[in-house]
Amino acid sequence: MKKGSLLAALRRELARAAVPEKAAGMQAYMKSAMPYHGVPSTPARQVFKKVFAPLVLEDEATWRRLVLELWRGARFREERYGALWLCGDGRARPFQTLDALPLYEEIIVTGAWWDYVDDVASHRVGPILRAFPGPMKKTMLEWSRCDDMWKRRTSIICQLGFKAETDLDLLFRCIEPSLDSKEFFLRKAIGWALRQYAWTDPKPVLRYVEEHEDRLSGLSRREALKNIRRGASSG
């Protein structure tokens, strides 16, 4: 496939599926500097399936090149959603290794907003952590202490779907550097990660909240205890 042709095809199909009167509202909701075509999520998924179906992803280099073509060349936000879709294409499953991490790091740092970052953190970085725990633990701890807020958020929420397989020590160590942060998205991430694990076992979450009462923000604390309180009131 010639350079730029995939992006052109995606843009053309998204424009055909667009509901232009929705575009401004979608952009405002996401507080996005990048405009939208105005394609709701279900039609967008249909477009992605149609456009990407003929692709031949013979190796990781081809897959990575096509993802970055979409990501870097996008002029509309749905085109970047297409890049995220291609990241998770079933044919790319063999490429979900440590070698894919620089790609995801670029998306996290340059995307710098929750809709991109949360998808990559939970659906891409998390599975790589599960498959390669040794080196990935080291990387997540490095990210948890770095200056980029979105890499920090990723390190905190990358285990959201792990349930009983959650590495609590890693989670708590990734939370630690951001406990005193004033950033909303870090405070929210801390509470979200703790709340998610509380579905599996509330006791260590309660203990953690009690032990860090003086440092946890009100937002983090409320989020962390939501499920526990709901379970107590309904029981």
Q: Which of 176, 130, 121 is nearest to 153 (CA)?
A: 121
Encoding tokens for residue 114? 């929750």
Measured distance CA(132)–CA(76) in Å, rounded: 34
So what's the pLDDT on residue 229? 63
pLDDT of residue 176: 98
In the block, which residue shows the tokens 């983090």?
220
pLDDT at 227: 82
* Cβ pair 113, 32 in contact under 8 A: yes
Cβ burial of 2 (10 Å; 0-12, 13-18, 19+) is: exposed
Secondary structure letter of residue 134 according to DSSP: H
Angle at 60 between CA 58 and CA 62, to 5 degrees: 65
Tokens of 106: 């670029």
Handedness of CA 175, 119, 229, 164 (dihedral sign): negative
Q: What is the DSSP letter of 160?
A: T
Q: Which CATH class is domain 1-95?
A: mainly alpha
Measured from the Cβ of residue 158, the count of other Cβ atoms closer than 10 Å reads: 28
**How far is residue 204's CA from residue 180's CA, in Å, rounded to a whole number?**
20
For each of the chain's 235 residues, which pLDDT tens digit applies?
A: 666 699 999 999 999 999 999 999 999 999 999 999 999 999 999 999 999 999 999 999 999 999 999 999 999 999 999 999 999 999 999 999 999 999 999 999 999 999 999 999 999 999 999 999 999 999 999 999 999 999 999 999 999 999 999 999 999 999 999 999 999 999 999 999 999 999 999 999 999 999 999 999 999 999 999 988 654 434 3
Q: Tokens in use for 188?
A: 């929210």
Domain boundaries, the chain: 1-95
